[in-house]
A and B are shown apart, each in its own frame.
Chain A
Amino acid sequence: MKYRGAIFFFVGVAAALALGWIGFPRVIYARRVQPVNFSHKVHAETAGSKCEDCHTLRADGSFAGIPGLAQCAGCHTAPMGSTVAEKKFIDEYVTPKREIAWAVYSQQPINVYFSHAPHLKLANLKCEKCHGDEGHADGPRVYEQDRIGGYPRDVWRSMLMKDCIRCHHQNGLEHSCLDCHK
């Protein structure tokens, strides 16, 4: 056959591409289930909460991030709806006063300093710009964690250093290493 060698070569290439692009992500990422089946949709639409109601800037400017148990327990000391997830949440976390160990989608290395205050107050960015449209999701997004490095897949999609730098460049903001590293 004339192109026998080439056919085998390209079969190999195709196999590698398939394994690498489809098989590898399945293997390298472990799926983790969030401890509570939290629905943003219910809270935003039925309860009428806005992002800032739970994800607040404190008085000193630091960002409260994912709210602690106290924030949730403020409303959920008794079941407010009829879902199994809420009952489970109250039994496992509110009653024994146990903080929820959320898996953080945007987890950054410890030497990264990101401050929400200038992005929210000075640049007036919307939450969706970096975190996607979470406000209407009915359940937590699937959390995939790199088995070796430990970082979530979402970080690789849109929260690497180059993504921050790109936006800063586009907006003509001068920045130094010390601005974002601690």
Chain B
Amino acid sequence: MNRYAMSIDIDKCTGCGACMIACAVENNVPPLPQSNDRKGITWIRVFPVDNGEQGDTRQSAFLPMMCQQCDSTPCASVCPQQAVQLDVKTGIVGQMPERCLGCRYCMTACPYHARYFNWWDPKWPAGMEATLNPDVAPRMRGVVEKCNFCHGRWHAAKEQAASQGKREAADYTPACAESCPTGAIRFFDLLAGTPEAGSFRLLEKLGTETKIYYRSKRAWVKGLAEAPDGKEHHLA
């Protein structure tokens, strides 16, 4: 049994986007067509945020956000196809593109905007298919996709453990945590460890019981997590 979670230090994040690239490479997100819809496909997405002031007192931070892996999933509860399943053995909220019919109700339900839609079939420049990761299936147009805590790597960890006769998956690291140059993202098992003291979750009052814990020494960052701040944020 596992309960996978992440702990992210916002103060360490420099907004470099390495996690975004590593995630896209690991999960076969296509570089074409150049999307002209609002959000594109970024299973993990770094949001620049600031404290709203100008000049010398302005402070910025970067917030890496992926599927918050809620224990009380708003997305699964609205899916007409049962294409989302909270796996009790691992705590991962699994997205099944093969069941998805593309109604995008889950995208509306997710308070974290962590779900992305394939408006077009994926296209890779000629020859690039050879660099695709065989452990993750590409998705066709018309389905929703999101972070699954690098299920391809989890499969590999389970397989390695099984070949040695063990039932518990070996430790593994998702692509974002592995690639973060500052070590801001930590992947761990809630059954074996705890988030750092002072950690908070995003929009806790919604009762989604997320498993992504954030921390920051700056009070205004914590304030962002508690409630939308009423200002316009461009997610595009």
Contact = CB atoms under 8 A, between A and B. Distances in A.
Interface of A: 57, 60-62, 110-111, 113, 115, 117-118, 121-122, 174, 176-179, 181-182
A179 B161 CA distance: 14
A161 to B, nearest CB: 10
Interface residues of B, number: 30
Nearest to B165: A121
A177 B165 contact: no
Interface in B72-123: 85, 87-90, 92, 94, 96-99
Given A118-B159, A118-B162, A176-B87, A110 B138 contact: yes
Contacts of B222: none
Contacts of B51: none
Interface of B: 85, 87-90, 92, 94, 96-99, 135-138, 148, 151-152, 154-156, 158-165, 167
A72 to B, nearest CB: 23
B138 A177 contact: no
A23 B150 CA distance: 46
Most buried by A among B152, B155, B167: B155
A90 to B, nearest CB: 29
B29 to A, nearest CB: 15
A57 B45 CA distance: 37
Name B's interface SS: loop
Contact of A122 (B87, B160, B167): B167
Contact of A61 (B88, B151, B156, B167): B156
A29 B131 CA distance: 33
The 10 closest A-B pairs by CB, nearest first: A61-B163, A178-B94, A118-B162, A111-B137, A61-B159, A117-B162, A176-B87, A61-B160, A117-B163, A115-B159
21 contacts: A61-B162, A61-B163, A61-B164, A110-B137, A111-B137, A115-B158, A117-B159, A117-B162, A118-B158, A121-B164, A122-B162, A176-B85, A176-B89, A176-B94, A177-B87, A177-B94, A177-B96, A179-B87, A181-B98, A182-B137, A182-B151
Contacts, number: 71
Given A178-B90, A178-B151, A60 B159 contact: yes
A145 B85 CA distance: 33
B161 to A, nearest CB: 7
A115 B163 CA distance: 10
A172 to B, nearest CB: 14
Given A60-B159, A62-B159, A178 B87 contact: yes
Contacts of A176: 85, 87-90, 94
A62 B157 CA distance: 10
A18 to B, nearest CB: 35
Most buried by B among A60, A110, A176: A176
A181 B83 CA distance: 12
A163 to B, nearest CB: 17
Contacts of A178: 85, 87, 90, 92, 94, 148, 151, 154
